[in-house]
Structure 1
Amino acid sequence: MLKSLSIKSLYVLALAEGEGVGTAYEYFAKRLVLARWLKNRQAQERKPQRLLIAGLPEKYGSSLDFLQLAQELDVEVTVADERPSALQKLQNSLATAQAEGWLTAVSPQLISLTHLADLSPIDEPFDLCLGSEGLQRLDADHRPDYVRHVQRLASSAALFVPNGDNMAHTNISGLAGVTLAEMQQLLGNAKTGYIDMPPFPPGITRSDEQREQATSGTMEAMAMWGLGYYARLEHFLPTAVRRKQSHIVYALMNLDKELDTDKH
């Protein structure tokens, strides 16, 4: 079971990656989905032992939120990516977070791929596979190859991609997007949905002084506390609103048994 971490707490990880409150909000929103899903999974089977992070984010962050999840679950972590710069960025971000007292029990194994769609160098099984801001990097022809490898390697998988129906976000972020319909077509019976709809526009930048103030200021702490409640209410909004405003489409795959059908 995951800890109840606030956006203010997760902001430390975002800062370690050189990111800001938008990334901390994203991490919080993803944890809400993963916490419910993993709680149901762990009630049905043994505790996960091994985690694969199949591709690092294209541009924003280094998936330190997934390493935080790994530490809480006490699992071994393998990270695979084809970009040496992304793997080095992860190592630098992890070292920064550890200097702040975070992720001190995590030591991921890094695997360098030749192509994100080709996970064939990995042959050991995993209980859980996670990926964020990676699938959209692949051409449509290569996405099924990536998915087949994930399904081969893991008994459970969760993928998070930029929402292709939110053109404002993809234009500002510079990322390609994948629509919910495309995810459903690609992944079949996976449970899919929308998350990450912060009540502020994307692309906001802050000075180092403002970032430091956000980690210690009372007003900033109260604002982040309010954001946490807002994030919990996202899934009550009409689907049409979330389709156009959410930053992320997610898919949850239970690959070793029939999927449950409850909705988030």
Structure 2
Amino acid sequence: MLRTLSIKSLYVPALAEGEGVGTAYEYFAKRLVLARWLKNQPKPAHLLIAGLPEKYGSSLDFLLLAEELGAAVTIVDERPSALQKLQKSLVAAQKEGWLMAASPKLIPVHHLADLGEIAPEFDLCLGSEGLQRLDASDRPAYMRHVRRLASRAALFAPNGDNVAHTNISGLAGITLAEMQQLARQNAQTGYIDMPPFPPGITRSDEQREQATSGRFEAIAMWGLGFYARLEHFLLTAVRRSQSHIVYALLEGGD
């Protein structure tokens, strides 16, 4: 159902967001999970992005997924700055020839955990780096709304068991056990996004631009893609301590 895209290809929308190869790797890792999950399911006609990332990127990978599936997109978030950042990132990606058909509907809400004003008209709900920014007491309400709004949902959050990642990223984390408790029944959960380089690496704008055309960078990113496919076969204890993301794939109502 989803095209096979390389990390080098996904580097272009990541760069449009002001991010780098770490974000491109994350997008690739999420696509591996979503491609396996969605391949035997009906194509969604209406897709909801329930909250934009707290800090890194603007979920252009989800807009790319929606474009591939031919789905209309609605995005909800309580932060005007995040919605503006998304619009700016989308314009930058379109200047590079990406996401030319993307025209998401943006809905500002008062609070991400209170989505009662949103009608349940979606086939698929996606969210990344949003759940952890809610207070622990608000997370169950958010999950209830997600289940109400869409027949299927895929949620991604920083891995709370990887202290090095959460400390350097400045993000709160959610452990897999916490994600499983929130997801409850009808859910697949796991760890992904374990790049073989330390978190917190920064590159200049010139280095980022060079990575889009350099031959060595292309070979390195091909190797990263091969490595990403092997993550699933690593010991659970290794993935628990080293992965950047925990995820939950939800089907059916609560």
TM-score, with normalisation over the residues of structure 2? 0.98
Distance, in Å, in 2 between the alignment partners of 1:6 and 1:102 is 14
Percent identity between matched residues is 79
Does the 8 Å contact 2:126/2:154 carry over to 1? Answer: yes
Q: Deviations over 1:182-215 (max 9, x none)?
A: 0111111210000000000111111111111100
Q: Provide the secondary structure at the position in 2 that maps to 1:140.
A: coil
**Which residue of 209, 212, 215 maps to 1:218?**
215
What does residue 7 of structure 2 align with?
A: 7
Distance, in Å, in 1 between the alignment partners of 2:69 and 2:238 is 34
Structure 1 residue 227 and structure 2 residue 229: aligned? no
Q: Provide the secondary structure at the position in 2 that maps to 1:122.
A: coil
Letter in 1 for 2:2: L
* Aligned residue runs from structure 1 range 46-61, under 5 A: 47-61=43-57
Distance, in Å, in 1 between the alignment partners of 2:198 and 2:165 is 9
What does residue 34 of structure 1 align with?
A: 34
Structure 1 residue 245 displacement after superposition: 0.2
Tell me how many residue pairs correspond in the alignment. 253
The runs of 5 or more residues in structure 1 that have no matched partner are 258-264
Distance, in Å, in 1 between the alignment partners of 2:86 and 2:221 is 25
Structure 1 residue 233 displacement after superposition: 0.2
Letter in 2 for 1:249: V
Structure 1 residue 127 and structure 2 residue 123: aligned? yes
Structure 1 residue 95 and structure 2 residue 83: aligned? no
**Which residue of 201, 204, 207 maps to 1:207?**
204
Greater shift, 33-42 or 4-13, is seen at 33-42
Structure 1 residue 256 displacement after superposition: 5.5
Structure 1 residue 124 displacement after superposition: 3.7
**Which residue of 147, 151, 163 maps to 1:151?**
147
Structure 1 residue 114 and structure 2 residue 110: aligned? yes
Structure 1 residue 40 displacement after superposition: 2.3
Q: Provide the secondary structure at the position in 1 that maps to 2:10.
A: helix
Does the 8 Å contact 2:120/2:150 carry over to 1? Answer: no
The runs of 5 or more residues in structure 2 that have no matched partner are none
Q: Deviations over 1:170-192 (max 9, x none)?
A: 00000000000001111112100
What does residue 100 of structure 2 align with?
A: 104
Distance, in Å, in 1 between the alignment partners of 2:28 and 2:100 is 20
Q: Deviations over 1:66-117 (max 9, x none)?
A: 0000000000000000000000000000000001100001100000010010
What does residue 162 of structure 2 align with?
A: 166
Distance, in Å, in 2 between the alignment partners of 1:48 and 1:153 is 13
Q: 4+ runs of 1 displaced by more than 4 Å?
A: none
Structure 1 residue 3 displacement after superposition: 0.6
Q: Deviations over 1:5-34 (max 9, x none)?
A: 000000000000000000000000000000
Q: Provide the secondary structure at the position in 2 that maps to 1:41.
A: coil
What does residue 262 of structure 1 align with?
A: none
Letter in 1 for 2:17: E
TM-score, with normalisation over the residues of structure 1? 0.95
